[in-house]
């Protein structure tokens, strides 16, 4: 399938369209799957992304880069390639990119999940000849619990903390995970506060009509007013720094929980660091990965981001041509 995609030092490259997909270095023309910082980088000359993800991607890459949005399911010619974006279900606006050249089709999933999530568009499988799939959790041990059950656990944890007069701090990435956690909360339970890193992304979800509970930016006055009752959403990054430790002291008394798919196999490590862990992931688990390959029906599979060797070997044994991308 090298006639459609090639792996270069900049990342996946389509010669027919002269563009890169989620490039890791600066390029002239980039197609970007979604607005997380490891996929949407600054410095590109022009960017094409999904229409519903345009605001987030523009925020990431900066105003010096021209960013255009293409509605889901609509196609356009880029050079001699025909491209379209299709929902990936990872975060708001996240997309799989379909690339057609000479009657052959490649699909780059970017990060994706198949479970229902009210904060983003639902994943849609796209038939293709070459599937380039993420494999972050590409092992049979990864099978996500029911999100509704995890939401109920969060609510019980929050209620128990309130009964003890203790604030609840729930850690999740500031874009995507934080908004999903907000949507999972019991809105009648009590006040909800947000770390400053989460606040800038709220407007993109409001602009998209996503229904999220009312929440305030954390400040000294709101901490005083809500002490012992609040649920605080914050990113995990920086919490182990001196600045993070100082911020945590202001929220005391406090109990801390982490929301991550990694906690499925790292519960013991997580519990030594956090008071609680909730298994909530925005990536496919093993059954979802198998279902995606079955639904897309590729004859070639490239695995990237995660358990690439294992996934490539597994599907090679099933008769697919495979490659583990580094």
Other C-beta atoms lying within 10 Å of the C-beta of residue 28 = 11
pLDDT of residue 268: 47
Q: Report which of 152, 195, 190 is spatially closest to residue 173, judged by C-alpha positions.
A: 195
Per-residue pLDDT of the chain (326 residues; tens, 9 = 90+): 457 999 999 999 999 999 999 999 999 999 999 999 999 999 999 999 999 999 999 999 999 999 999 999 999 999 999 999 999 999 999 999 999 999 999 999 999 999 989 999 999 999 999 999 999 999 999 999 999 999 999 999 999 999 999 999 999 999 999 999 999 999 999 999 999 999 999 999 999 999 999 999 999 999 999 999 999 999 998 777 767 778 888 888 999 999 999 999 865 444 557 889 999 999 999 999 999 999 999 999 999 999 999 999 999 999 999 999 98
Overall residue count recorded for the chain in this entry: 326
| Peptide bond preceding 134 in cis form (omega within 30 of 0) | no
What pLDDT does 233 receive? 97
Cα–Cα distance between 326 and 320 in angstroms, integer? 19
Cβ atoms within 10 Å of 74's Cβ, excluding its own: 11
Q: Assess contact for 112 and 89: CB atoms under 8 A.
A: yes
Tell me what pLDDT residue 83 has: 98
324 forms beta bridges with 303
> Distance between CA atoms of 109 and 95, rounded to whole angstroms?
7
Return d(Cα 16, Cα 3) in angstroms, integer.
8
Strands 95-101 and 104-108: antiparallel
Domains of the chain: 6-141+283-324 (3.60.15.10), 147-278 (3.40.50.10710)
C-alpha to C-alpha distance for 104 and 82, rounded to whole angstroms: 10
pTM over 0.75: yes
Strands 104-108 and 130-135, bridge-based pairing: parallel
Q: What H or E segment, with its residue span, contains residue 270?
A: helix 267-273
Other beta carbons within 10 angstroms of residue 130's beta carbon come to 23
Separation of alpha carbons 51 and 48, rounded Å: 9
Residue 7: predicted pLDDT: 94
- Give residue 16's Cα distance to chain centre: 29
């Amino acid at each position: 399938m090298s006639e459609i995609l090639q792996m270069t030092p900049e990342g996946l490259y389509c010669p027919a369209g002269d563009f890169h997909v989620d490039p890791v270095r600066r390029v002239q023309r980039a197609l970007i799957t979604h607005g997380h910082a490891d996929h949407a980088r600054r410095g590109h000359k022009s960017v094409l992304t999904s229409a519903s993800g345009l605001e987030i991607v523009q925020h990431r890459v900066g105003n010096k880069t021209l960013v255009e949005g293409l509605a889901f399911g609509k196609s356009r010619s880029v050079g001699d390639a025909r491209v379209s974006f299709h929902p990936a279900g990872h975060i708001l606006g996240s997309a799989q990119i379909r690339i057609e050249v000479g009657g052959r089709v490649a699909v780059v999933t970017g990060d994706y999940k198949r479970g229902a999530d009210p904060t983003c568009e639902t994943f849609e499988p796209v038939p293709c000849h070459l599937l380039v799939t993420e494999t972050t959790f590409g092992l049979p041990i990864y099978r996500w619990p029911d999100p509704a059950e995890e939401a109920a656990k969060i609510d019980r944890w929050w209620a128990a903390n309130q009964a003890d007069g203790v604030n609840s701090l729930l850690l999740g990435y500031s874009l995507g995970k934080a908004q999903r956690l907000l949507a999972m909360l019991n809105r009648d339970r009590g006040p909800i506060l947000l770390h400053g890193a989460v606040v800038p992304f709220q407007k993109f979800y409001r602009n998209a009509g996503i229904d999220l509970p009312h929440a305030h930016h954390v400040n000294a006055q709101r901490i005083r007013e809500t002490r012992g009752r609040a649920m605080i959403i914050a990113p995990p990054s920086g919490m182990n720094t001196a600045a993070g430790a100082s911020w945590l002291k202001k929220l005391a008394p406090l109990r801390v929980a982490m929301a991550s798919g990694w906690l499925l196999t790292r519960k013991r490590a997580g519990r030594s660091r956090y008071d609680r862990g909730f298994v909530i992931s925005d990536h496919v688990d093993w059954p979802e990965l198998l279902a995606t390959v079955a639904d897309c029906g590729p004859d070639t599979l490239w695995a990237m981001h995660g358990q690439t060797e294992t996934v490539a070997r597994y599907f090679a044994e099933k008769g697919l041509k495979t490659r583990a991308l580094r």
